[in-house]
A = this chain, B = another copy of it.
Amino acid sequence: MPYPWISMTTDYGLVDPYVGICHGVIAGIAPDVKIIDITHGVPRQRIRQGAQTLARAVRYLPESVHLAVVDPGVGTDRRGVVVVTTTGLLVGPDNGLLAPAAEVLGGVVAAYELSAASYRLARVSATFHGRDIFAPAAAHLAAGVAPAEFGPQVFELVTLAAPKVTIGAGELATEVLRIDHYGNLVLAATRQDVRAADIGSQAIVRCPNSALSVRWANTFAGVSPGAGLLYVDSAGQLAIAINGGSAAEALQLNNEQENMVTITTTK
C-alpha cells in the first residue's frame, strides 16, 4: 500500500456519527489503511485553527495522506483538492486549511481538483463532502491512485490572511492562534517579534476583560505555582500559560471567537 496511514483532522466533534462514517467509507475502499485521528475537535467552522492544528501535527506522523475537513463553504463552488508535497499528500477543501501544513511538509509540489466522479461516492450530498468526496479521495490515494487522476491541476491554492501582529516600543499586540485543553494560549507573534518589541523578562498580558502578569520561563515549573509565564512551547511557538492553572480562564478567553492580546513589558 503506497500510504499505509491516513490522518484525519476535522471539526466534526465526536458526538455524531460523522467521524465513524468517514472511517467506514475509508475501510470500504482501502481495508488495510490505518487511520490516525489528529483531532475532530477543531472549533466549528474555524479554518485558521484547523490549519494551525494540522500544521503542528504533520511533522510527527509517518508519511501519510492527511485528510482535513473544516468546511464552512460546503455546497458552494469552493474546490476540493489533493495537494502533493515533498513528504505526503493533503486532501480537503481549498479554503486555506491545508496551506500551512503543506509548508511544514516541504512545500507544494502540485495540486489537483477532486472532480473525477469515479473516486467519489455514487451519490454526493450538498452538506457532507467529508463522507462523499474527501474520505473516498484519501482512501483511493492511500491505495495508490495517482493524484493527477482526480482532476485538473490547480495552480493557485487559496491561502489565509496572515494573523495580526503589531510591534510597538515595549508593547506587542498579537492574535491568539489557538487555546489548548490546558488553557494555554498559542500566539501568532514569534520570539523574534518579542525581541523586536523589546519586551523584557517580565510583562503584562492584557485582553478586553482581564490581565495577567507573566515572566519568561523555559518550563511551567520556572515560575511559582499559580503564576503566569511566557514561553516557547513544544512546537516552537510563543505561548502564555499559568503553572498549574489555566491562562484562558484567568484572561476570560475561549475558542468561540478570535482573540487578541497585548503584551507590555514591565521589567
Q: List A residues at the B interface (Cβ < 8 Å).
A: 4-5, 7, 9, 12-21, 23-25, 27-28, 31, 34, 36-41, 44-45, 53-54, 56-57, 60-62, 72-76, 125-128, 131-132, 178, 180-182, 218-222, 231, 233-234, 244
In the A-B complex, list the 10 residue pairs whose CB atoms are closest, starting with the nearest.
Answer: A75-B219, A128-B234, A24-B61, A20-B38, A15-B41, A13-B181, A125-B234, A17-B57, A126-B219, A24-B60
A16 interface neighbour in B16, B19, B23, B180, Cβ under 8 Å: B180
A24 to chain B, nearest CB (A): 3
A223 to B161, CA, bound (A): 26
Do B17 and A182 touch (CB < 8 A)?
Answer: no
Q: Chain B residue with minimal CB distance to A75?
A: B219
Quote the shortest CB–CB distance from A36 to chain B (angstroms): 5
Tell me whether B15 and A180 are in contact (CB under 8 A). Answer: yes
Q: Which one of B34, B54, B234 lies within 8 Å of A127 (CB-CB)? A: B234
Question: What is the bound-complex CA distance between A12 and B15, given in angstroms?
Answer: 11
- Stoichiometry (number of copies): 3
Q: CA separation between A13 and B53, bound complex, in Å?
A: 14
Contact A36 B20, CB 8 Å, known A25-B60, A31-B4, A234-B127:
yes
Chain B residues within an 8 Å CB radius of A127: 219-220, 231, 233-234
CB pair B31–A14 under 8 Å, yes or no, is no
Determine the residue in chain B with the shortest Cβ distance to A15: B41
Q: Residues of B contacting A7 with CB < 8 Å?
A: 20, 24
Contact, CB under 8 Å: A62 / B14: no
Bound-state CA distance A12–B184 (Å) is: 12
A20–B57 contact, CB under 8 A?
yes
**Could you say which residues of chain B place their CB within 8 Å of the CB of A12?**
181
B181 lies within 8 A of A16 (CB)? yes
Residue of chain B at shortest CB distance from A29:
B62
Contact residues in B for A219 (Cβ distance below 8 Å): 74-76, 126-127
Closest CB in chain B relative to A240 CB, distance in Å: 13
How many Å from the CB of A72 to the closest CB on chain B?
Answer: 6
A62 touches B24 (CB 8 A): yes
A-B contact pairs, 22 of them (CB 8 A): A7-B20, A13-B41, A13-B181, A14-B39, A14-B41, A15-B39, A16-B178, A17-B56, A18-B181, A21-B56, A23-B36, A23-B37, A24-B36, A27-B62, A28-B61, A28-B62, A45-B244, A74-B220, A125-B233, A127-B234, A131-B234, A132-B234
